A = this chain, B = another copy of it.
Amino acid sequence: MALNTQVDADHNAPPTTRVLAEHVANHPSRGWDDAVEHEAHRTFMNWLGCAVGAAHHEAGVAALRAVQMLQPAPQAAVLGRGERVDMAGAALINGISSHTFDFDDTHLKTIIHPAGPVCSAALALAEHIGANGRQLIDAIVLGIDVSCRVGNTIYPHHYDRGWHITGTTGGLGAAAACARLLGLDAGKTAMALGIAASQPVGLREQFGTMTKPFHPGAAAQAGLMAALLAREGFTASQRAIEAPRGFAQVVSTKYDWNEISDELGKRFEISFNTYKPFACGIVIHPSIDACVQLRAKGVTPANLARIDLRVHSLVLELTGKKEPADGLQGKFSVYHGCAAGLIFGRASEDEYADAIVTRPDVVEVRRKVVATVDDSIDEASVDAIATLVDGSKVHVFVEHAIGSLQRPMSDADLEAKFRGMSDAVLGAEQTGRLLEACWAVGKAADVKGLVKLTHRDE
């Protein structure tokens, strides 16, 4: 029978659950500077665009059909569509859609995509309970702070073990955001975090299937329900995150508790959020950027003989698929990403269509890409040398890709990205009004007007 083999357990962890709960419950509304406030709006807008853009993808459609088997009440919007479902179902479906294109935000220190779980839960709840925009943005900033601080605590060992950290920390962030929206005190917020802590969602084995975007959706739903349960007096351990058999020590062999408390209430992790210019995993963005730059330097499919990439080991580990058979597999292929960058000068969702991934000229270019792991190359960087058919070489070194903290997308870039996803779903005119509503959401008397703009007229 089982004995406790956790001989190395940390029995003296600080009261992490309580510290986070007090932060979430008691931090003043808009208790941060303008830069944080603006980043929250960028995070929200980018997330919303992703969710609208993928609303008609088969993953979101299948999830909607499954939720509809529950005959849900029309409490909250399925973004980018006409249907309404209960708020838990909306959190699930919108969370799935927002991550379907792998085009959402990234907290680079942890590779967490924080908005999916947090914003999907918060908007669905805010819509149903009639919260105002200020409350929504407060909840998002604090929820993402919880997700990412917990992520900082356990990364990288947790991710290395095989967990999809977006889902596992996302339930805590979603619970925090919803607890804040519900106005729970610190005690009940701790219970919400505790209930969420028992439900880490996400295995990396699922990458390349619909269950990858399911992870942030399920985390959103779990976090929302955790907050509703806590509101009704449901109890959990006061030390659910930090105890020897609590979340952090069970799902990771590393737990740096200082990551929870350092500059808490002063530094907000949403400040370090980034947005993807390319619709695929962040690790291959430097490679795609390099190929876009090679293109700008005159390299074309016609004059190209081969491209030699020197990359961080994670690039091949995560995205080493040489012969992707469809768009989804293409997301896990640095080779296809490079071909898209070189041929089209971009890698938006359109360049991950099945028909593009299998197009003969695209296949031909991707087969000219040779990627080699080089331990001297940082994960944020790539070194690319194109050898042309005439034997000449073109060299590009990308230290930080476009979309990184060092080279962030501008507000205009983000709007263009949003339009690239939303115009086809909602039309250009409605998309324009939705963009305006996103930038103004923190001042909105409620979120219903904004949500209405995400409905496609069928």
Q: Is the pair B162, A6 in contact by a Cβ cutoff of 8 Å?
A: yes
Q: Is there a chain B Cβ closer than 8 Å to A345's Cβ?
A: no
Q: Is the pair A314, B236 in contact by a Cβ cutoff of 8 Å?
A: no
Q: Is there a chain B Cβ closer than 8 Å to A195's Cβ?
A: yes
By a CB distance below 8 angstroms, the chain B residues around A444 are none
Interface string of A229-254 (1 = CB under 8 A from B): 10111111101100111110110000
Q: Is the pair A232, B65 in contact by a Cβ cutoff of 8 Å?
A: yes
Contact with A215, one of B160, B198, B214, B379 (Cβ below 8 angstroms): B198
Q: Given A69-B228, A75-B70, A75-B71, decide whether A162 and B245 contact each other with a Cβ distance below 8 A.
A: yes
By a CB distance below 8 angstroms, the chain B residues around A163 are 250
Q: Given A87-B70, A218-B199, decide whether A1 and B379 contact each other with a Cβ distance below 8 A.
A: yes
Contact with A237, one of B58, B198, B211 (Cβ below 8 angstroms): B211
By a CB distance below 8 angstroms, the chain B residues around A249 are 162
| Surface stretch bound by B, among A200-208, A298-306, A419-427, A446-454 | A200-208
By a CB distance below 8 angstroms, the chain B residues around A87 are 70
Q: Is the pair B198, A201 in contact by a Cβ cutoff of 8 Å?
A: yes
Contacting B at CB under 8 A, from A307-333, are: 312-314, 317
Q: Is the pair A214, B198 in contact by a Cβ cutoff of 8 Å?
A: yes
How many of A's residues come within 8 Å of B, CB to CB?
77
Q: Is there a chain B Cβ closer than 8 Å to A130's Cβ?
A: no
Q: Is there a chain B Cβ closer than 8 Å to A435's Cβ?
A: no
Q: Is the pair A88, B70 in contact by a Cβ cutoff of 8 Å?
A: yes
CA distance A232 to B67 in the complex (A): 10
Contact with A6, one of B3, B72, B161, B236 (Cβ below 8 angstroms): B161
Q: Is there a chain B Cβ closer than 8 Å to A225's Cβ?
A: yes
Q: Is there a chain B Cβ closer than 8 Å to A157's Cβ?
A: yes
Q: Is there a chain B Cβ closer than 8 Å to A355's Cβ?
A: no
CA distance A355 to B453 in the complex (A): 56
Q: Given A3-B160, A6-B162, decide whether A233 and B58 contact each other with a Cβ distance below 8 A.
A: yes
Q: Is the pair B86, A70 in contact by a Cβ cutoff of 8 Å?
A: yes
Q: Is the pair B232, A209 in contact by a Cβ cutoff of 8 Å?
A: no
Contact with A236, one of B72, B157, B210, B312 (Cβ below 8 angstroms): B210
Q: Is the pair A198, B206 in contact by a Cβ cutoff of 8 Å?
A: yes
By a CB distance below 8 angstroms, the chain B residues around A247 are 203, 205
CA distance A232 to B93 in the complex (A): 13
By a CB distance below 8 angstroms, the chain B residues around A234 are 59, 62-63, 66, 210-211, 214
Q: Is there a chain B Cβ closer than 8 Å to A156's Cβ?
A: yes
Q: Is the pair B202, A62 in contact by a Cβ cutoff of 8 Å?
A: no
Q: Given A71-B75, A246-B162, decide whether A198 and B225 contact each other with a Cβ distance below 8 A.
A: no
Q: Which residues of A contact B (CB under 8 A)?
A: 1-6, 58-59, 61-63, 65-66, 69-73, 75, 86-88, 111, 155-157, 159-164, 167, 194-195, 197-206, 208-211, 214-215, 218, 222, 225, 228-229, 231-237, 239-240, 243-247, 249-250, 312-314, 317, 379
Sample 17 A-B pairs with CB under 8 A, ordered by A number. A1-B156, A3-B160, A3-B313, A4-B160, A5-B157, A69-B228, A71-B73, A72-B73, A164-B198, A167-B198, A203-B240, A203-B245, A205-B239, A205-B243, A210-B235, A214-B234, A214-B236
